[in-house]
Amino acid sequence: MSLAVGRAGAARLPLGLSVALLLIAIAGGALFSLVTGGRSDIGLAAIFKGDATSAAVIRDIRAPRSLAAALIGINLGLAGLALQAVTRNPLASPSILGINQGAAFGLALALIAPHAVPLPLDGMAMLGALAAGILTFAIAGGFAGRIDAMRLILGGVAVGAFSYALVRFAYTLEDELARSVVRWTVGDITDIRWPPVLRMAFWTVSGVIVAMLAAHRFNLMAMGQDVAKSLGADPRVTLLIGMLLAAGLTGAAVSVAGPIAFAGLIVPHMAKLLFGQDHRILVPTTALLGAALMLVADGMSKVVSPPVEVPVGVVVALIGAPWFLLQTLLAEDLE
Amino acid sequence: MRSSLFGLIAAMALAVTTVHAAEIEHELGVTDVPDNPERIVVLEFSFIDALASVGVAPVGIADDERRERVISAYTDVIGDEWVSVGTRRSPSLEVIASLQPDLIIADLSRHGEAYETLSQIAPTIVLDSLAGDYHDSVEQMSVVGAAIGKSEEMDARVAEHRALMEDYVAQIRPLSEGKSAQFGVTNANGLWLHSPASYNGSLLEMFGFSSTMRPDGDGGVYETNYVPTTLEQLSEVNPDILIFGEYADPSFVDGWAGETLYDALGAVQSDRVFNVTAHNWSRLRGMLAAELTAADLLEIMGQLE
């Protein structure tokens, strides 16, 4: 089964033009995200005014938040790309394979019983993501060498539902704990500051490097597991790399913003539509596209119903779901 | 014929002894409550406030499974024999049923959906505690008083409370004139301001404070009582006096110390940021709770001069 994305390059834009459009989208998204916020008096003009308050708001509050949005977009986009490559399944994404929910499970566990867990919040998120990923892959038969497409999706749905059950349970706990869990799991980056963003940046940069190095393996994988093996790339190693990459990137994103659905699914699809199937090009462009999408979503989250901010995860779902549905309906060779 | 007549007489006799009931009007309808209910279950703290103010002890309390949340001012009156029926957010219907209550007092926003189920367990009245303001909470006292058959005692306590609050108002109003004040609670993950429509918002208004919390700059009001607020949004609200209730130490707001935008807040600049007991201000509502809040406010205003 494959969705009709990037078919034969018929209507594809030239690479240079696509990249230029992408960079414009990122610049626009970043500007949009930077000039909106709780202080309605600090807008576009304030950037050039340069008084102390405006500078502090932009430097200390909005810039780390915008960067966080961009990094989350990169993380989830690349996680989705890696998962789609190693499973050879276009539906693979952190949320569909239960990895997002696994990370949220880890977070909820750390919030409910902080003394009973071995790692801090972000560590628990990554551990949860990894455990969910391994479980889903095991259910799909990934470690026996053959991933069954249907079992992969069903396994992911089951693992995701199981993980999210604990998160839902936390909603019924007393008010303060429930508020904390809701805030962590709804997809929210309000009031984030530099230190957690810089921690996430470390994971993002590492992830991009690993993904670049693995891009060729991903291409071989696309030709089929047997071909990949005969060309010297053990599919099981590629699978392991892809899964570790996806779990690390997703866990890092979830520990900062909570599980954001759809970004990991639609960003790789958009990138394939624009740039074709070569992962050596897809890795950087998926990263850029993810950043652009999240920056725009972050800006929108602040202007939809001021002064109350809509969690950015909700905005992404509102953009992502219709786009994905449109893709599905327009797909010609949906088997 | 004779036996059925006898049955009818027996049934009527039974009816005379047990049916005598008060009809109590509440948020979700009218409920027949037996006279002088003795096994009462309450699902919000403000209903403990109501019962304690006329010396009645509930058999079950949704105390969040933390008995210390029922403060000593209440336990001095109601003792500590109650059974915990779980959290206020999701109380255990099984435990409530096992207590065989003859009256349940529930909250509209938390338990409105479960009204039918609760009513099958025992006569249930539903009041708007969580989403209501201070004035609502005092009016609810009379409803509870009627439901437990102690209207006279309750009216007397309410009158005493109103007189006491008027006294506080007379002391605080001259000091609060022309000043804006804002209350918010903060845990480890965020800050939630209590809007002018909330219980604490209405109390601050009664004491003469204005509010700078305006959703669109002019006239509008927040639809929710508890508004998640970022530092940037707080700096737009920028009240003269900030009152925080902290549920965590260090709290989310503590983490803002030293940030340019926080230090630029009017209340921070003029040293008018105060900490109060979050539990008493935010979770508790009612007469005794309002008196505690008023005493805190008077103390805060004393520190201003």
CB contact under 8 A, B264 and A53: yes
Average pLDDT on B130-143 reads 94
Statement: residue A10 has pLDDT above 80: no
Average pLDDT on A49-61 reads 82
Q: Residue A210: which of A241, A233, A231 has the closest Cα? A: A241
**DSSP label of A6:** S
In our burial notation (b when 16+ CB lie closer than 10 A, e otherwise), range A21-59 reads ebeebbeebbebbbbbbbbeebeeebeeeeeebbebbbe
- Using a CB-CB cut-off of 8 Å, the residues of chain A touching B234 are 38
Annotated domain spans of chain B: 17-160, 171-304
CB of A195 less than 8 A from some CB of B: no
Classify residue A70: in a domain, yes or no. yes
Rounded Cα distance between B52 and B63, Å, is: 15
Are B197 and B136 spatial neighbours (Cβ–Cβ below 8 Å)?
no
> Which spans in B177-254 are helix H?
199-206, 231-237
Radius of gyration of chain B (CA): 22
Write the DSSP string, B75-89.
Answer: HHHHTT-PEE-B-SS
Rounded Cα distance between A131 and B18, Å, is: 60
On average, the pLDDT of chain A sits at: 84
CB of A179 less than 8 A from some CB of B: yes
Write the DSSP string, B150-164.
Answer: -HHHHHHHHHHHHHH
pLDDT over 70, % of chain A: 93
CB of A43 less than 8 A from some CB of B: no
- Using a CB-CB cut-off of 8 Å, the residues of chain B touching A307 are 215-216, 233, 236
Angstroms from B274 CA to nearest CA on chain A: 21
CB contact under 8 A, B87 and A173: yes
- The pLDDT confidence band at residue B20, using thresholds 50, 70 and 90, is low
Predicted pLDDT at B219: 46
pLDDT over 90, % of chain B: 77
- CATH assignment of the domain containing A162: 1.10.3470.10
Encode pLDDT of B144-162 as tens digits. 999 999 999 999 999 999 9
Residues contacting B263, CB < 8 A, separation 6+: B257, B269
CB of A174 less than 8 A from some CB of B: yes
CB contact under 8 A, B233 and A61: no
Predicted pLDDT at B223: 62
Torsions phi, psi for B26 (to 5 deg): -140, -170
Predicted pLDDT at B5: 56
More confident residue, A186 or A190: A190
Predicted pLDDT at A201: 95
Predicted pLDDT at B44: 96
Average pLDDT on A186-209 reads 89
- The pLDDT confidence band at residue A7, using thresholds 50, 70 and 90, is very low
Statement: residue B1 has pLDDT above 50: no
CB of A51 less than 8 A from some CB of B: no
Q: What is the pTM of this model?
A: 0.83
Classify residue A48: in a domain, yes or no. yes
Encode pLDDT of B98-135 as tens digits. 999 999 999 999 999 999 999 999 999 999 999 999 99
Statement: residue A4 has pLDDT above 50: no
Domain B17-160: which CATH class?
Answer: alpha beta
Q: Chain A: residue nearest B191 by CA?
A: A191
Predicted pLDDT at B173: 94
End-to-end CA distance of chain B: 85
CB of A60 less than 8 A from some CB of B: yes
**DSSP label of B103:** E
Provide the token pair at A49. Answer: 């005014």
Angstroms from B265 CA to nearest CA on chain A: 11
Number of domains in chain A: 1
- Using a CB-CB cut-off of 8 Å, the residues of chain B touching A37 are 230, 232
Classify residue A37: in a domain, yes or no. yes
CB contact under 8 A, B260 and A60: yes
Predicted pLDDT at B215: 62
CB contact under 8 A, B232 and A61: yes
Return residues 184-243 of B near A (CB < 8 Å): 187-190, 192, 215-217, 222, 224, 227-236
Predicted pLDDT at B2: 52
Provide the token pair at A330. Answer: 């327009």
Return residues 112-171 of A near B (CB < 8 Å): none
CB contact under 8 A, B190 and A308: no
- Using a CB-CB cut-off of 8 Å, the residues of chain B touching A53 are 260-261, 264
- Using a CB-CB cut-off of 8 Å, the residues of chain A touching B189 are 179-180, 183-184
Encode pLDDT of B164-194 as tens digits. 999 999 999 999 999 999 999 998 888 999 9
Exposure of A206 by Cβ count < 10 A (0-12 exposed, 13-18 middle, 19+ buried)? middle
CB contact under 8 A, A174 and B234: no
CB-nearest to B89 from A37, A172, A183 is: A172
Predicted pLDDT at A3: 41
Torsions phi, psi for B2 (to 5 deg): -60, -45
Candidate from A45-54, A259-268, B76-85 with smallest mean pLDDT? A45-54
Encode pLDDT of B205-244 as tens digits. 999 999 988 765 444 555 678 888 889 889 989 999 999 9
Residues contacting A193, CB < 8 A, separation 6+: A60, A61, A64
Return residues 61-100 of A near B (CB < 8 Å): 61-62
Domain B171-304: which CATH class?
Answer: alpha beta
Per the listing, tokens 């008995």 go with B67
Predicted pLDDT at B41: 97
CB contact under 8 A, B87 and A174: yes
Statement: residue B286 has pLDDT above 90: yes
Angstroms from B140 CA to nearest CA on chain A: 23
Statement: residue A147 has pLDDT above 80: no
Q: Residue B103: which of B14, B43, B15 has the closest Cα? A: B43
- Using a CB-CB cut-off of 8 Å, the residues of chain A touching B245 are none
- The pLDDT confidence band at residue A317, using thresholds 50, 70 and 90, is confident
Question: Residue A223 is part of which domain span?
Answer: 15-330
- Using a CB-CB cut-off of 8 Å, the residues of chain A touching B88 are 174-175
Classify residue A154: in a domain, yes or no. yes
CB contact under 8 A, A307 and B236: yes
Return residues 268-327 of A near B (CB < 8 Å): 306-309
- The pLDDT confidence band at residue B18, using thresholds 50, 70 and 90, is very low
- The pLDDT confidence band at residue A9, using thresholds 50, 70 and 90, is very low
Predicted pLDDT at A236: 80
CB-nearest to B190 from A53, A62, A191 is: A191
More confident residue, B12 or B211: B211
- Using a CB-CB cut-off of 8 Å, the residues of chain B touching A183 are 189-190, 228
Predicted pLDDT at A8: 42
Predicted pLDDT at B9: 55
- Using a CB-CB cut-off of 8 Å, the residues of chain B touching A61 are 230-232, 261
- The pLDDT confidence band at residue A78, using thresholds 50, 70 and 90, is very high
How many interface pairs between A and B have CB atoms less than 8 angstroms apart?
A: 86
On average, the pLDDT of chain B sits at: 90
Classify residue A140: in a domain, yes or no. yes
Rounded Cα distance between A148 and A85, Å, is: 14
CB contact under 8 A, A60 and B90: no
Classify residue A5: in a domain, yes or no. no
Average pLDDT on B44-50 reads 96
Classify residue A36: in a domain, yes or no. yes
